Amino acid sequence: MPARFSGERVRVLLRGNELMVFNKRELVARHPRLTRRGAYRDILDHYLEILLAKAGAMRGSTALAAARAEGTFSAAHEAFWAAARKAHGDAAGTRALIEVLLHRRLPAEAVQIGVTAAVKAGSTSPDVVAIEARKAEAAARDPGPEDDKDDPPPWTEGERRTGADAAPTTSRPARGPAPTAVGGPL
């Protein structure tokens, strides 16, 4: 269960293949059910609030080792952490990484893209990661036009020419036939 719920009364629903933890009506944790007696599973996300206060404990934590083994703590995270520790020192650099990991409201893939973009830009700011992650999330929701490489730039709209001396086209409706009188042309 996430550390932020320590000391609070929560409801646990144990199903055949999963364990679900609720705080009031909010689902706060869902995990596969462990079948061996005495088995446990460390999840880095559940310890982040504690590690923010005690950043020095992050390096040797079993939750970090488990996250590395599962692949949820990637090479991009490692690169960000190394750059942040180099720029700000061990404690402040680790806190910067933990702040990045606390971006829970964004999809993990978007945060991963944000971390990669921040490292590429030479930044160790969690705010830069958040901005880049939001950009990635927005791009994933609205990918835009698929293929517009042959389309003219938008500022040339209405100026498409078919020949060297063709007149520019307009968006006005074409004029109809010349007006006529009831019995014939005017």
Residue 26 lies in a domain: yes
Task: Give me the pLDDT at residue 72, please.
Answer: 87
Number of neighbours of residue 111 by Cβ within 10 angstroms: 25
pTM of the model: 0.61
CA distance 63 to 46: 9
80 in Cβ contact with 124 (< 8 Å): yes
Same domain, 37 and 51: no
Task: Give me the pLDDT at residue 171, please.
Answer: 55
Residue 82 lies in a domain: yes
Q: What is the β-pairing status of strands 26-32 and 18-23?
A: antiparallel
Task: Give me the pLDDT at residue 53, please.
Answer: 77
**pLDDT below 70 — which residues of the chain?**
1, 143-150, 153-186
Residue 100 lies in a domain: yes
Residue 173 lies in a domain: no
Tokens of 168: 């520019």
Tokens of 186: 């005017």
Same domain, 77 and 129: yes
Same domain, 36 and 55: no
Same domain, 33 and 59: no
CA distance 39 to 133: 35
Q: Which domain holds residue 6?
A: 1-41
Same domain, 50 and 36: no
Q: State the total domains in the chain.
A: 2
Task: Give me the pLDDT at residue 114, please.
Answer: 92
Same domain, 94 and 135: yes
Task: Give me the pLDDT at residue 4, please.
Answer: 75
Task: Give me the pLDDT at residue 168, please.
Answer: 56
CA distance 54 to 161: 67
